């Protein structure tokens, strides 16, 4: 008899726990989110390419799709086009130059896209202005090069970008693992007004990000370490509504493959992160190669009325489609 009572208590406790987990983490019982998705334009508006068989050292400029627009990634014209198309944030990549500036450029070396060899650090900013960054782009295995001769002078410095878009929000990517680059960037950013810093987020390897954060603790940053620390802690405690301190004032890039397993996904999770000044960006696929929501078909995979962040390589395609969906 006593054993039966204990079993009944256990079953009752289990049922109550399940009800609590459902109610506390269901988007059915959370505050409505009626805003539009936040659009993050990866490298501005650039040429896209097939992801099939891609490796870390793949020259993506040599495998682009037939161009649908004239913009090259990480340039001021491409960023302006992205903002005009509807981007809320533009992502860009930075590399230190020979003369102590930051150039906005993606690749480790210059051979893939440009007409010179070496790396960004081998050149001064003035010298980089003479490089043709459209030189290596081809959509037909080298039969034609549609941007050759059109990319001279297009590599901007980080300062030029921030000056060109004084109110623009940016996600700055430190490409190196060198902590000295985190210090160099912190020294540069520390001269900016507080309001301008609030429009910037920096992400990259753990070491430079750790160094950057130690000098600018109020800056929103993200690294693999900060991302894992937040998500692991949240997986263990988020069911209760508790928000780990490691999740505060950061940015989370969540692969769509795993997003559904987060406590409260999507609306309750997004509301929780909003409450601690953390931005959530949904990345397509498993997050391995900066895959974005780049087509109308991709948008069909988003949760209904999704209003978090979206990573896209084709903001010119996605933004108009989201506007159409909003009016339907």
Closest CA to 39 of 264, 250, 265, 282: 282
Q: What is the pTM of this model?
A: 0.92
Residue 309: its H or E element = strand 309-312
3-state secondary structure of 173: strand
> In terms of C-beta density within 10 A (0-12 exposed, 13-18 middle, 19 or more buried), how is residue 76 classed?
middle
Per-residue confidence of the chain (328 residues) as pLDDT tens digits? 666 666 666 565 555 455 445 556 666 667 766 788 999 999 999 999 988 888 888 999 999 999 999 999 999 999 999 999 999 999 999 999 999 999 999 999 999 999 999 999 999 999 999 999 999 999 999 999 999 999 999 999 999 999 999 999 999 999 999 999 999 999 999 999 999 999 999 999 999 999 999 999 999 999 999 999 999 999 999 989 899 999 999 999 999 999 999 999 999 999 999 999 999 999 998 877 778 999 999 999 999 889 999 999 999 999 999 877 666 6
Any alpha helices (H) in 190-255, and if so which ranges?
Answer: 194-197, 206-215, 224-237
Q: Which residue matches tokens 């409505």?
A: 32
């Amino acid at each position: 008899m006593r054993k039966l009572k204990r079993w009944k208590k256990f079953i009752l406790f289990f049922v109550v726990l399940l009800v609590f987990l459902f109610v506390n983490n269901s988007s059915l019982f959370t505050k409505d989110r009626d805003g539009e998705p936040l659009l993050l334009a990866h490298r501005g508006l650039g040429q896209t390419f097939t992801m099939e068989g891609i490796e870390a050292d793949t020259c993506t400029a040599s495998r682009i799709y037939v161009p649908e627009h004239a913009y090259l990634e990480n340039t001021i014209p491409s960023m302006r086009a992205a903002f005009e198309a509807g981007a809320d944030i533009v992502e860009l990549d930075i590399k230190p130059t020979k003369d102590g500036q930051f150039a906005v450029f993606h690749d480790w070396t210059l051979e893939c896209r440009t007409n010179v060899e070496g790396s960004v650090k081998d050149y001064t900013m003035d010298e980089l202005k003479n490089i043709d960054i459209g030189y290596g782009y081809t959509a037909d295995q080298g039969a034609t090069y549609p941007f050759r001769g059109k990319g001279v002078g297009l590599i901007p410095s980080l300062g030029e970008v921030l000056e060109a878009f004084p109110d623009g929000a940016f996600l700055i990517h430190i490409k190196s693992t060198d902590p000295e680059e985190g210090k160099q960037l912190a020294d540069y950013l520390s001269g900016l007004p507080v309001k301008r810093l609030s429009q910037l987020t920096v992400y990259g390897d753990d070491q430079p990000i750790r160094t950057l954060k130690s000098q600018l603790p109020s800056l929103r940053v993200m690294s693999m370490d900060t991302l894992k620390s937040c998500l692991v802690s949240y997986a263990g405690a988020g069911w209760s509504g508790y928000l780990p301190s490691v999740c505060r004032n950061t940015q989370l890039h969540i692969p769509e493959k795993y997003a559904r397993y987060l406590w409260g996904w999507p609306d309750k999770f997004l509301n929780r992160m909003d409450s601690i000044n953390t931005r959530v960006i949904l990345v397509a696929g498993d997050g391995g190669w900066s895959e974005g929501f780049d087509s109308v078909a991709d948008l069909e995979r988003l949760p209904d009325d999704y209003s978090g962040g979206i990573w896209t390589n084709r903001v010119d395609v996605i933004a108009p489609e989201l506007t159409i969906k909003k009016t339907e």
